[in-house]
Amino acid sequence: MRRGRVPDLLLAALLDGPAHGYELMDRLEAFSGGNWRPSPGSVYPLLQVFEDQGLVERQQAQGRRVFALTEPGREQALQRRDSADPAGFTPAPHHSQLRAEMEQLHVAARQLASAATSDEELEKAAAIVRAARQALYRLLADQ
């Protein structure tokens, strides 16, 4: 995800109504078809910037802090909505393949963690995952 698009996407997500940060992350993940989820470290600072600029206001709803668009924020969100096109979220086929393999690895590790009958099995599993992580970093270093 290009960094410059995140503010537009976040404002567009608020067009669906007031929300707290994690709800906005869920909206953006759904908007991207599950291909991208922003981190709290990108969402909450942007919400603070929007609040400082008068684009959003902080409210309390059901004991949670939520953010709602102000009138100037709504106008800006409507203007920027066109740049928040989900077509830019289609990952390359190899990205999808890597993501699917990572999800399958996660499922296998969780199954082993719940079915393991000894600490030795868990240590072996941790060693396998550690070796895979190290191999990925070696591949990254070779680029």
pLDDT above 50 for 1: no
Rounded CA separation 27/6 (Å): 13
Same domain, 78 and 9: yes
Same domain, 21 and 66: yes
Same domain, 83 and 31: yes
Note down the domain range covering 107.
93-141
Among 32-36, 84-88, 120-124, the range scoring the smallest mean pLDDT is 84-88
Same domain, 108 and 68: no
- The tens digit of pLDDT for each residue in 44-89 reads 999 999 999 999 999 988 888 999 999 999 999 998 876 665 555 5
Same domain, 39 and 75: yes
Alpha carbon 32 to its chain's center: 10
